[in-house]
Structure 1
Amino acid sequence: MRTAIYMRVSTNEQVEEGYSLSAQKERLTAFVMSQGWDIAGYYVDEGISAKDMKREQLIRMIADVKKGLIDVVLVYRLDRLTRSVVDLHELLKVFDKYNCKFKSATEVYDTTTAIGRLFLTLVAALAQWERENLSERVSFGLTQKAIEGGWHGSAAPFGYDLINKELVINEDEAKTVREMFRLYINGLSDRNVAIHLNKNHMLTKNGHLWQDARVRYVLKNPLYAGTLRWGVRVNKENAFEVEGAFPAIISKEIFEEAQKIRGKRNSFHGKQVSSDFIYSGILTCSRCGSPLKGVTTTRKGTDRRKNYMCRKVYLKECDLPMVSERIVEHNFIKYLKAAQFQFTSIEDVEESEIENLEEQFSNEKKQKKIQDDLDKLLTRKKKWQYAWANELLNDEEFKDRMNEENKKEKQLKEELKDLEEITPSVKVDRQAILEMISDLIESWSNLTDKEKKQLLQNTVSSIVVEKVNEGKPLDRLTILEINFSD
């Protein structure tokens, strides 16, 4: 009998209990010799749990079984091989298909009989129950502590000290946290924030230099606004947040502003966000559809000039001429004033005149909003079910919350159905659009370049432009279309 000896150890505790690799090897080798079998190979997974089959040596052993190199798999105990009923059945099917037996040196299993398979399955089920029960107890304790607002970690995060198991603001470190958010909101990237902190000797809790990943972790963590988040890495379907769980270093408004900026930076290149080119990443070429890139030019004795050039011009795949920011600015304001005049002077706007606006304000956006609300509602219902199952809610509280969610769900589905039956034409709130355009024109001249840039990135997704060769220099650009963000 060509025997595969499979061994596994996952913790120091198992070593102390007599499951060390050397102990397993000694006993299994002696067992093989007593049976007069041959050792085909040792397959050893060290420091790995048996919760799944993603184990290098287990995978290698299965491959050898499929190659017909093994007649029997020998383990010290079943739980060395697996703790999962599903995985056990998969392994037994593979062993059976390739005429390979399974043996435990310390337990009586015979996979060639029906009763042996049943007994093996029952023992594996108990092993899986033990593991999941332990995991559930640990998870329940941590979840309850999170709901109560307690700190569930070991060491205090940067910005705080841990006193009597409670987080207390460390004022020196809190200054650094506030500086991080200030710099980021004012246009610096994670990397440049780290560089600034290091230059000013504002180091980590352990006295190390900041890296962009560490800065990013702080800037994305709602802990600094006083909110505890739970289950965002594992058990995501039951994740939740507890506001006001900790003393806040920054306000909720500052934190949300930073997240909004990060969301925009995910859509734009880092330099597009932090540079002073107002229209970078927003101007779009009408000829090829590519974005225009900010380019600086200087002439002897003159100031720096900001221009925009289609990215495909560099590849000689487009012939759109370079355009200065001054011309873009002039025509952008002219476009807004023309729109302002249109909505001021026309009493009844014909459908043909608002063709572009129809698409922008179509009911598709309303449908998307309702669908997003339905998705969030479904997530909340799962959380209530999880909380009730773990006795975090009593029967009455669970019933009330589910009834409330069901009413909201019914209402949202009715609204969605009504919108789906509406014809594509949409009534445009001309007064609201007029006020928006008027406010933009009035405030534009009072904004800095970076403020203009941030405003555009928050409200406009693209401005489609075409260069023309006729008319006054400032009029040699046509804005064909402005698309607003959702």
Structure 2
Amino acid sequence: MDAIYARQSIDKKDSISIETQINFCKRESTSPDGYKIFRDKGFSGKNMKRPDFQRMLTEIRSGIIKRVIVYKMDRFSRSILDFSETWNILQEFGVEFISMNEKFDTTTPMGRAMLYIIMVFAQLERETISERCTDNYYERIKNGVWPGGPAPFGLKNAEIINEGYRMSTLNPDSDLEIMIDNFQEYEKEGMSLGKLAKKRTQQNLKTNKDIVWNNISLSRLFRNPVYVKADILVYMYLKEKGYSFSNPVEEWDGTKAAHVVGKKQYISNGNRINTKAPRQTVSLLNIPGTIDSSLWLACNRKLDHNAQIKNSGAGKHTWLTGLIKCGQCGYALRITTYKNKENKIMKYLMCSGHSNLHCCDVKKFDLLVEDLEELVAEELNKAIEETKVEQIEMTDQTMDNDKKIRLAEIEEKIDRLIQAISEATNITMKYLNKEIEKLDSEKKQIMGNLEGHVQKRDRIKPIVFSELDFEGKKQIAQNYIKKILVYKDKMDIIWKV
């Protein structure tokens, strides 16, 4: 039996349809057992992940198919590697291959060579088309066009006509007010992602994907710059995170929203994966932002802080969880509880490394957890008092955005000049140093102006450790203490500050 295979990725005016391909191939079929048609519409030829193509291979392996007929080679495959693999299958099961457009004898060495040459050009054409599409994609987003896909929560897909061309954009919808409220709520002291998600669920509110609110969905929304009035402060924050940018720094004037394009690039380090290398591109959109940069940055800084302490231990027995270690072997100490004769719950420290062959002989410490907490709290109060300075929060800076942009430009120019020094000659070295000095002088002048434009200052309430709740004490301990080494008769605090 003959197999007629036809493929078409997308409908185009200049593209030959699947029905036309099949009609041409029918003329070539001469098998007395007739022919069977396999068609894949909407699938690319870049790989073999095509339903009917795989079904055809299955019937080839079962011995049903003796000839494969296609209209043109690139309908069959556009990958040299995939074609080579498929060609080996055809050879193994004695299946003849016929292309209506490329007539040559594949039983001869010259015919097989011509087959592979055609495949080389088919793959080259596919890669050229792919590169052209990628270039067009990034050029469009550079010009502020929404690249497509589902709209973020609170926004909806729309189209505008620009110079006679249809362009994708975003418009606000009724849920945008919920998103604004999300930012305002999360910024409040004591509000967490979990509490906010619970509140939204109790209000019977759903995300745009009609799923229940949770920590992950909220965190992703807060991280999305599509809501922010993207000014130079947002630019500098994202630059710290390692993002690249489609637009020059002077365009970050707070009049537009932004969005992230591209996928995260994970760098392999042996068996470990470094997830802190996004290398994604941030582009400005041709739509106004909704959230002030100060609010957006406050929420994102709060998320950054959560990320730093998220692995500090989830234990509820003590706010020292994750910090207390055995002074003899270095293993973590765990909490064991039991009720005494007065029915009071007692909490003791146990060495988790006691059973290890290379560990110490300490199993249980006589020190109660409450006593250890009291000692550490006393030391923390001293540390907070010693490190206390006149804490002042800037709440109103009237320096215009242009000066902030100029400051960022100067930083970038200085960086580039420093990099150029390594390749400079003696003559150009003098010029580069002179330029750096001039830029640094301008930078100091702007920084002086920035300090002079502070109009209002609010004093931050001093920390009183004993008045903090369980989570507050845990956060302060994690910020000040690296680890606590507990011995049989003493303890040592290894400080971060």
Rate the CA distance shift 1:255–1:128 in 2: closer, same or farther, 3 A: farther
- How far, CA to CA, are the matches of 1:101 and 1:401 in structure 2? 66
Q: What residue number does 2:83 align with?
A: 88
**Paired amino acid for 1:231:** G
Q: What residue number does 2:179 align with?
A: 174
Asked if residue 146 in structure 1 is aligned to residue 141 in structure 2, the reply is yes
Contact 1:313 1:320 in 2 (8 A): no
Of 309, 313, 321, which aligns to 1:280? 321
- How far, CA to CA, are the matches of 1:250 and 1:181 in structure 2? 14
Percent same amino acid at aligned positions? Answer: 21
Q: Please show how residues 310-325 of structure 1 align to structure 2 within 5 Å.
A: 310=350, 312=352, 319-321=363-365, 324-325=368-369
Computed over aligned residues only, the root mean square deviation of the Cα atoms, in angstroms, reads 5.5
Contact 2:351 2:363 in 1 (8 A): no
Of 472, 478, 487, which aligns to 1:451? 472
Task: State the shift of 1:319 in Å.
Answer: 2.9
Q: Please show how residues 319-468 of structure 1 align to structure 2 within 5 Å.
A: 319-321=363-365, 324-333=368-377, 406-407=419-420, 444-445=465-466, 447-458=468-479, 460=481, 462-466=482-486, 468=488
Contact 1:169 1:247 in 2 (8 A): no
Q: Please show how residues 157-306 of structure 1 align to structure 2 within 5 Å.
A: 157-160=152-155, 165=169, 172-178=177-183, 181-182=186-187, 186=190, 188-189=192-193, 193-205=196-208, 209-225=212-228, 226=230, 227-232=258-263, 239-242=280-283, 246-249=288-291, 251=293, 252-264=296-308, 267-268=311-312, 271-272=314-315, 277-286=318-327, 290-292=331-333
Rate the CA distance shift 1:296–1:46 in 2: closer, same or farther, 3 A: farther
Contact 1:45 1:58 in 2 (8 A): yes
Task: State the shift of 1:199 in Å.
Answer: 0.7
Task: State the shift of 1:408 in Å.
Answer: 7.9
Aligned residues: 379
Task: State the shift of 1:334 in Å.
Answer: 6.0
- How far, CA to CA, are the matches of 1:147 and 1:3 in structure 2? 50
- How far, CA to CA, are the matches of 1:209 and 1:11 in structure 2? 36
Rate the CA distance shift 1:410–1:295 in 2: closer, same or farther, 3 A: farther
Give the unaligned 5+ runs of structure 1.
Answer: 341-399, 412-440, 471-476
Task: Please give the per-residue CA displacement for 1:260-305, whole angstroms capped at 9, x wherever unaligned.
Answer: 1353365356x45xx6942223333456655445678889999x98
Contact 2:347 2:368 in 1 (8 A): yes
Rate the CA distance shift 1:283–1:234 in 2: closer, same or farther, 3 A: closer
Contact 1:287 1:320 in 2 (8 A): no
- Greater fraction strand: 2
**Paired amino acid for 2:183:** R
Find the residue that maps to 1:284 and give its secondary structure.
strand
Contact 1:5 1:73 in 2 (8 A): yes
Find the residue that maps to 1:267 and give its secondary structure.
coil
Task: State the shift of 1:403 in Å.
Answer: 6.7
Q: What residue number does 2:70 align with?
A: 75
**Paired amino acid for 2:471:** K
Rate the CA distance shift 1:24–1:276 in 2: closer, same or farther, 3 A: farther
- Greater fraction helix: 1
Task: State the shift of 1:166 in Å.
Answer: 5.3
Task: Please give the per-residue CA displacement for 1:106-137, whole angstroms capped at 9, x wherever unaligned.
Answer: 54243334553454445444544444444334
**Paired amino acid for 1:254:** A
Q: What residue number does 1:478 align with?
A: 491
Rate the CA distance shift 1:153–1:114 in 2: closer, same or farther, 3 A: same
